[in-house]
Structure 1
């Protein structure tokens, strides 16, 4: 019998020991668990390998009603289900409803939850979009919804998934239990997006553990490609394997893997343009230690939960600190020393600018919004009616959704909400929203370049970007090792505004102070993204005021 009572440290630890066999809770777990038990909406940013899943698993033993877990990848779900069911404890039994199960298996899973024979229901957003399935889940009266890899709901997040857009509506329709959103990396814009799209109600936000002390951060500017090749191969000769080399394009992945093989290094490549079967095989081979060096685009990402990756190298500037942090976070998950090496050139930024693409067509957006006004329609039907390709229609629907011109309805159909703007107004608003997003995206690329050029402690710079503080340097980055970080810190004086305080600029509006370095300060503005300002000019001209 579950108890609906406040639970504090001793009781949580008792459950951890009794049901999971864990002798203690990790740093960053207890406070979010307490929030969950208090029925508060909660957003948790905690690195992979730091025990995010435990934050819903342990409280679930005490909460009334089953726990619904929404996760983007079936492989990730399967790993979590297997880990729960290994305990042989009915209070921890997990079942799944997804495309991988037959209709009979799906019915059995729902029935097991209904009878109290299972506690955790793992499900995909696609399943919840079915009105009958939604009604079944509502009837189970879930006590908690955990949204894993929550950054997938954010247009700013790495691995954005349009299927996640309707989750706020779906959770409301299943009775609106408290929501726990979990992610390994979320900068302030991503966090705000998660909160808005999941419709979290005054959530508690817990950000911790982002300082990976076993991970040595190193950056080298490469004047030409030959210098970059020498730096890369020197690292390959020095370090143990396996490791991942991230590149900017599919072509670069194939060419670098071939060049490495010709030079005697056992390398394979991975990118999103490969056949699905080959991609899956490469993924499995890497997981099983059959591939020592994987040269990959960012498509090689989610689902890589391999403890013994000894290094991650980037041979191009990533598009943002968000992507960089998530990719280097795949190294050293066993707690052993690991290395993150960034080899960048000035030309790398031009590649990122190219990928950001051109503005959407207001005429095409207007036509699409007009089709939506004719009645509920599937994405496939809208493609046929407008002639837009799958990628473009996904982008356009996302923009229209953000300006209130479309929402996901029942049975995979898209509808126009009440009081939605007319097609012409919606198209204009969508273009403006796109331009706002591009300003933030460009600023994030600027921040990545700033990180690469910085003489400050690398970890301090990264953590400031994500809204977490460390003091006195990390001692596990190149700038701390060579003493330059200490020189910068000694030259710094307290800034005119506290780090993470709210400020206002006459033209750019409200923003948050992110960090100081020498006589510069970085502010994250709501409308234009990250801006680096001269502190003396800010003070002299009174460019910023406290909010």
Structure 2
């Protein structure tokens, strides 16, 4: 039963402390759930008010709120936003590598004394047992996990350090958790819930269709044609804008080519020194860089309202990353443009990035080390195995999926008591990797379907995320050309979100309908687009 008193308290706090006269649809329900001690997973587009979901309830709870965020720049933006409110009750502090020990102690003292409400911290800090003990002593009443898709092996921004957060939450006494992300398909949502240990969370998926973004895609028969289409965009559309490229070398070369053509452009990728990246990040936010040519490393923390266009000069790996990246445009609500310039050859590059299956011997050796010597810190484990940090994180995640590893206190990795033998764990992990590769391929297939769509582009894009658009969007190139057709309620042989079974592909969930096609997410092989008449005539699917 909804409490009018709780709603009144939340609305009053939103108005008096934050200046928000109204709350957006779904926000109030999520806030009420948090105050009742319930976990929340919120999938909301960039700029839609995700931070409000934890900031407003935090002012009504007795202890401090812990905000876990992966980037210092992103943390600083959020801290600055709270400080600009000018309220003592919204004081936020940070503990990171950027603060001196004296500053860190001052932050902890402010939290202990009630002079600060929010503690911003990275998952790497929480991997330190001493730091975790300090945070536990604060008795946080709420934990907010920003960019929660980073915990998912299916996610495009997977971060190994996020894997320990489920244990961290339990170590803190299991306060309510709100997990926030701008885009998460059903496999990513399931992974977030499982890895964070969310207890029957309230799941919010709202507003993924952004009407101010004009969606456009063009097949480019040659690289010269792709270049000319990009020039047409940058010469006619005012900046600032972002051009996403698939490789570091591509970012450097395209930025140089644009500069030579008379357009001020800089490049950004993960291979650059941290200081150089931070400098470019700040310059772009300050409107000092009109065009940023970047890999997917340029993303989280780009809290910039006036980005007028986002272009992709290759087919992205999935609708997950694509929606996240184009979502950085038009955060001020004004019209913005998104342009996908793709070629069939792009898929070969994505297959290269997907890479080969993990080596059985590396998985077996890793599992054997954990069985013989664990628990081990990640650094110690790297010394024993010789694996790089990212690769080790991916292998540990695979072993965790099959019960061959577990992340424990202080981020240490151990062998569970009833783990399979190292050889069996390795075989099971390879099978899991094969399943993940099938899903990755299906996500690229869905991205290609979006690029090739001859009708409304928003319909297949939202169907991928399980949202049903029963009208044409009216803000894509196909709709503008009169090629988008309403689906008349998207009538199909099975309800959206119903569970079905296929003789070869196994169990799956109906995600949505577009024209005479249906999208189904199968547990083992990923996304498939099927002809509705063929499904009906041949009985390809049955209800589970």
- Residues 1:388 and 1:122: Cα distance change in structure 2 (over 3 Å): closer
Question: Which ranges in structure 2 are unaligned for 5 or more consecutive residues?
Answer: none
Instruction: Name the counterpart of 2:523.
Output: 526
- Work out whether residues 330 and 336 of structure 2, in 8 Å CA contact, stay in contact via their aligned partners in 1: yes
Instruction: Name the counterpart of 1:446.
Output: 445
- Residues 1:229 and 1:418: Cα distance change in structure 2 (over 3 Å): same
Instruction: Name the counterpart of 1:393.
Output: 392
**Displacement, 1:412?**
4.2
Instruction: Name the counterpart of 2:331.
Output: 333
- Work out whether residues 468 and 513 of structure 2, in 8 Å CA contact, stay in contact via their aligned partners in 1: no
Kindly report the root-mean-square deviation, in angstroms, between the aligned alpha carbons of the 2 structures. Answer: 1.8
Q: Which moved more, 1:95-104 or 1:5-14?
A: 5-14
Q: Which moved more, 1:527-536 or 1:127-136?
A: 127-136
**Displacement, 1:264?**
1.6
- Work out whether residues 28 and 46 of structure 1, in 8 Å CA contact, stay in contact via their aligned partners in 2: no
**Displacement, 1:450?**
0.5
Instruction: Name the counterpart of 1:71.
Output: 69
Determine whether 1:495 maps to 2:453.
no
- Residues 1:192 and 1:250: Cα distance change in structure 2 (over 3 Å): same
Question: Deviation digits for residues 413-462 of structure 1, max 9, x if unmatched?
Answer: 32212212221111111111110100000000000001111123112222
In the alignment, which of 500, 504, 522 is matched to residue 501 of structure 2?
504
Instruction: Name the counterpart of 2:137.
Output: 139
In the alignment, which of 124, 127, 149 is matched to residue 126 of structure 1?
124
Aligned equivalents of 1:362, 1:259: Cα separation in 2: 43
Aligned equivalents of 2:116, 2:4: Cα separation in 1: 23
Q: Secondary structure at the match of 1:279?
A: helix
Aligned equivalents of 1:132, 1:379: Cα separation in 2: 16
Q: Which moved more, 1:339-348 or 1:527-536?
A: 527-536
In the alignment, which of 307, 313, 316 is matched to residue 315 of structure 1?
313
Q: Give the 5 Å matches for 1:337-486.
A: 337-375=335-373, 376-486=375-485
Instruction: Name the counterpart of 2:242.
Output: 244
Q: Secondary structure at the match of 1:511?
A: strand
Q: Secondary structure at the match of 2:394?
A: helix
How many corresponding residue pairs?
541
Aligned equivalents of 2:434, 2:35: Cα separation in 1: 41
**Displacement, 1:13?**
1.7
Instruction: Name the counterpart of 1:546.
Output: 543
Q: Give the 5 Å matches for 1:185-264.
A: 185-264=183-262
Aligned equivalents of 1:48, 1:366: Cα separation in 2: 41
- Work out whether residues 6 and 37 of structure 1, in 8 Å CA contact, stay in contact via their aligned partners in 2: no
Q: Give the 5 Å matches for 1:174-189.
A: 174-189=172-187
Q: Give the 5 Å matches for 1:77-116.
A: 77-116=75-114
- Work out whether residues 214 and 336 of structure 2, in 8 Å CA contact, stay in contact via their aligned partners in 1: yes
Question: Deviation digits for residues 52-89 of structure 1, max 9, x if unmatched?
Answer: 11111111111232211111111111221222233343
- Residues 1:411 and 1:60: Cα distance change in structure 2 (over 3 Å): closer
- Residues 1:226 and 1:495: Cα distance change in structure 2 (over 3 Å): same
**Displacement, 1:523?**
0.3
Aligned equivalents of 1:85, 1:527: Cα separation in 2: 47
**Displacement, 1:41?**
0.8
Structure 1 moving runs of 4+ over 6 Å: none
Aligned equivalents of 1:412, 1:496: Cα separation in 2: 47
- Work out whether residues 6 and 38 of structure 1, in 8 Å CA contact, stay in contact via their aligned partners in 2: no
Q: Which moved more, 1:495-504 or 1:216-225?
A: 495-504
**Displacement, 1:191?**
0.5
**Displacement, 1:521?**
1.5
Question: Deviation digits for residues 254-310 of structure 1, max 9, x if unmatched?
Answer: 221222222222222111122323222222221221211111111111111111111
Q: Secondary structure at the match of 2:26?
A: coil
- Work out whether residues 65 and 141 of structure 2, in 8 Å CA contact, stay in contact via their aligned partners in 1: yes
**Displacement, 1:347?**
0.5
Aligned equivalents of 2:272, 2:128: Cα separation in 1: 31
- Residues 1:28 and 1:240: Cα distance change in structure 2 (over 3 Å): farther
Determine whether 1:268 maps to 2:269.
no
Aligned equivalents of 1:404, 1:133: Cα separation in 2: 28
Aligned equivalents of 2:224, 2:288: Cα separation in 1: 29
Q: Secondary structure at the match of 1:374?
A: helix
Aligned equivalents of 2:65, 2:25: Cα separation in 1: 23
- Residues 1:428 and 1:236: Cα distance change in structure 2 (over 3 Å): same
In the alignment, which of 483, 486, 510 is matched to residue 513 of structure 1?
510
Question: Deviation digits for residues 139-198 of structure 1, max 9, x if unmatched?
Answer: 322221111111111111221110000100110011001111111111111111100100
Aligned equivalents of 1:37, 1:392: Cα separation in 2: 39
Aligned equivalents of 1:112, 1:278: Cα separation in 2: 33
Q: Secondary structure at the match of 1:190?
A: helix
TM-score by structure 2 length? 0.95
Aligned equivalents of 2:344, 2:503: Cα separation in 1: 32
- Work out whether residues 467 and 511 of structure 2, in 8 Å CA contact, stay in contact via their aligned partners in 1: no
Q: Secondary structure at the match of 1:484?
A: coil
